[in-house]
Structure 1
Amino acid sequence: MADPIRLIVGLGNPGAQYADTRHNAGAWYVDALARSQGVSLSEEKKYFGLTGHFTSGGDTVRLLIPTTYMNRSGQATAALANFFRIPITQILVAHDELDLPPGVVRLKKGGGHGGHNGLRDMISKHGNQRDFVRLRIGISHPGSADLVTPHVLGKPAPADRERIERAIDEALRYTGEIVRGEIDQAMNQLNGFRAT
């Protein structure tokens, strides 16, 4: 058993112009989770994001979508985690993943930032601690490093968006296990899923 999860963060960029872009896949997951729990997310300026919470097994689980830009995501996560004294091992970060195709979602414990600016800032703002859990939501790689920025800031084709949504739905099915700290069990289930 791993630590239970007390903070779930969905990475993205703020503003209507970015809402439907691939880089906001992590925020899509937290939005979907909030809806499934009947939670309304509201802006909390002191946490630099949209927040809400629900209870699981008598414990409070906080949700956060930073309203900073992606490369300052750690400002929001650190502010909320520090205030509520949530250790890094009890944080789940959902984010877009270039190295996975749309329709695939993977759970991972710890690791580096892999060039992801949101993860890079989060690791930096949390004292270079890396032991948070990641929900990696596939968006595919455009094939060339030069194309990454327009790719992540672009909108997926409708078929790809549908696959991403199905992968998020699958992740929601196992979020209860993740929150309880049953990471390995959830990983075994999720890591074999692929929306076709």
Structure 2
Amino acid sequence: MIFYLRVKNSLFIRFFRFFYKTKFKKFGVNSSILFPLNINGLKNISIGNSVCIDNKVWLAAVAHTGSEQCELIIGDGTCIGNFNHIYATRSIILGRNVLTADKVYISDNLHGYEDITMPILKQPIKQIGAVEIGDGTWLGENVCVIGAKIGKNCVIGANSVVTKDIPDYCVAVGAPAKIIKEYCFDRKEWIKKN
């Protein structure tokens, strides 16, 4: 049974790569997307080499806010977990070797809700800050990153909501996410923050 599933998955990956590779802005070697839920704006999506994107992921790079440039860039060696939802209306960049657990949401936009006489569904989408996830960072399960930058080699704990920038070499948890540890190069250890 396991052998059958590996062969089935391998055939799907080859089919997907053959059929969709030329539709992306870039689709690196040894990269795979396994049974995506949805992909919008393929011509604006760049996937590096050796990227692994798991089941039921929704990737989008669509300029709903009228931005002239719209990009979703996923760096070399990055692994995206199951059921991730990554939606760029201007710019989302994931660095190299980023790891996301399952059910992670990353967005550079929000639904407008200012007009209380109109359903939120019919209000315009608001552009907020560009999103960058630094090299080597790990996002735990159910993390939301909305219009913020996260530095390199950070850990964002499960169920955290990141709405403000997090510098390099930090551990952040909570909703909203707060830094609880940062790496001290002088002492060569992680130091708790008050």
Which TM-score band (shorter chain)?
Answer: under 0.3
Of structures 1 and 2, the one with the larger relative CO (CA 8 A, separation 6+) is 1
Instruction: Tell me the TM-score normalized by structure 2.
Output: 0.27
Instruction: Tell me the TM-score normalized by structure 1.
Output: 0.27
